[in-house]
Amino acid sequence: MIAVVAMLATFASRAEERGEEVPAEAPRAETPRAEPARAEPARNEGQRAESPHMMSGQVARVLDGDTLEVMVGKRRVRVHVNGVDAPELRQPWGLQARTALEQMVMGQSVDLLPVGSDRGSKLTAVVFVGESEVGAALVSAGNAWADRHALRQSDTGLCEVEQSAREERLGLWSLPVAQRVAPWEYRGLFLHPAHVDYTRETAEHCMSVALGRRARRAVQPAAQSAAQPAAASTPAQGGTQAQGASADQ
């Protein structure tokens, strides 16, 4: 090994004496870095001040680009950041999204405004660190998408924040189109091996899709409850007819 190094040094010195250029080391491919989160005004600040359900704690762990664990007293609570969907860890920009969230909240005191929970007992909450709303900051820097499947009426401003990040080609929006697969589509690719190109989507379309989904989810339970009395009355009517037939006999 020492002999090889000596030969390379001799070659370089002779090349310099002859006025020749010494070949430079080939540049290494750089891994895209996470976009630093930009401070975003807290869109839910009014609810934050008024809600009796507000919780506070310290971030103990970041699992991925939109999920963290918070110590609330002696309880470890797993929290999904409301209104956003970050790339999965195996997706392009998944690791950068997790890094961005770590840089923003790891070890920090946060306020949590609960809005619901999923089947895995994961709390969904609007997360605040200082004066910034974490979800909006993630979307603003291109480290997450506005989650069309979970936006509330008060969250649709995330669509406008996402459009700005997309137009500025920040974060995941700097990737080639083929690598910008929405996380909800990535999770279902084994069923639908195609994805939508959101490059030219407008904030208005994003909002209409999100609110349309919520409206359909609200109508379905109402339709089911309305159908139940009708279904329940059918056997009763049948029973009455049967009793009448037996009486005739």
> pLDDT digits over 172-206, tens only?
999 999 999 999 999 988 667 778 889 999 999 99
Q: Which of 122, 127, 148 lies closest to 210 in space, CA to CA?
A: 148
Q: Which residue has the tokens 């936006």?
A: 151
The full 3-state SS of 1-70, as one line of letters, equals CHHHHHHHHHHHHHHHHCCCCCCCCCCCCCCCCCCCCCCCECCCHHHHHHCCCCEEEEEEEEEECCEEEE
Confidence of residue 241 (pLDDT cuts 50, 70, 90): very low
> pLDDT digits over 12-66, tens only?
455 445 454 434 444 444 556 666 665 555 556 656 666 778 999 999 999 999 9
Phi, psi of 5 (to 5 degrees): -60, -40
In the predicted model, what is the mean pLDDT of residues 104-126? 91
CB-CB contact of 135 with 159 (8 Å): no
Query: Tokens standing for 89?
Result: 């860890």
Tell me the whole-structure pTM to 2 decimals: 0.68
Query: What number of other Cβ atoms are within 10 A of residue 237's Cβ?
Result: 9
In the predicted model, what is the mean pLDDT of residues 133-154? 95
H or E segment at 224?
A: helix 203-248
Q: Which of 49, 94, 53 lies closest to 77 in space, CA to CA?
A: 53
pLDDT at position 249 is 41
Domains of the chain and CATH, by start: 45-213 (2.40.50.90)
In the predicted model, what is the mean pLDDT of residues 232-247? 42
More confident residue, 139 or 48: 139
Q: How far apart are CA 183 and CA 140, in angstroms?
A: 17
pLDDT at position 142 is 98
Q: How far apart are CA 197 and CA 199, in angstroms?
A: 6
Q: Which of 169, 151, 32, 149 lies closest to 94 in space, CA to CA?
A: 32
Amino acid letter, residue 141: A
